[in-house]
Structure 1
């Protein structure tokens, strides 16, 4: 294990179990992004090059294949033995991720709903600053994004302002 990078250690120490899919996926995304392999989960494999294809086309295909194999290794090494056995013969890392999402993705929906509930129920404490409150809200919005929610920046700002406005109306105080 001494040869593992600190990023890969994150996956080793946080293997996918039935209850931690959202956290596991976030950690996997971090590792794959840092290792520059995440693209194989969203970009299709280039067509198999013909014998007379340009070298660049052959290299692109080979690079994608090697990245796919690395992503599969990262995924398989970071899931339970039972899941490894189920997924070991799947050719594409994106297909493994799709299967895992189908098995555990409902956790993401529940987590998104809970985070939305937290956002709308967050009250600014009398002793806290607007800055602290906004940072809390931004953190919750970032969590939503990690969980797959797609809320554009303008809507996020609108949500924060609306919640601040509601707070000022309810507390009859001036926000500074």
Structure 2
């Protein structure tokens, strides 16, 4: 295996041209064989998921380049932790959308620094069902905006929903109060004595006037 180390440490040998010497062709053929061995060793040491990601790559150097990109000190570990937090993020009903959006923006900006591009779809996906109308309108109107513009739009939408909810609650409370008042009036009418019969008592079927 040590004899194959040059495959990853030295410059890749390119396919010889038509005017190449036999030694150049032999060197390329040997490099191709060794590169295939290294590629097989690398794939054999990977998990099934990583194998699927790299099995179509033509050379061991291409696999190594992608692995460095995935697991480099400044990228992969940080990306994994940020993405895990982002994909687990789900805004709970009742919390302030401004605070939630600030958290999402902070995480996505961290990914941008790692040259990992994200857009607003992840934020929209994580919103609760109460924002379904906003999401439908966003896609129907084919809106394009920055994360900070989306923040302002979501705050406006949440304020509108809160005001609408308060109006409904006010109407419901007002309606309930009216119903209670109506029932009290009906109850008092049922137990009241007509004004013209005040002072009149019944005695064995005959009216008796009380002076």
Q: TM-score range with shorter-chain normalisation?
A: 0.3 to 0.5
What's the TM-score, normalizing by structure 2? 0.33
What's the TM-score, normalizing by structure 1? 0.39
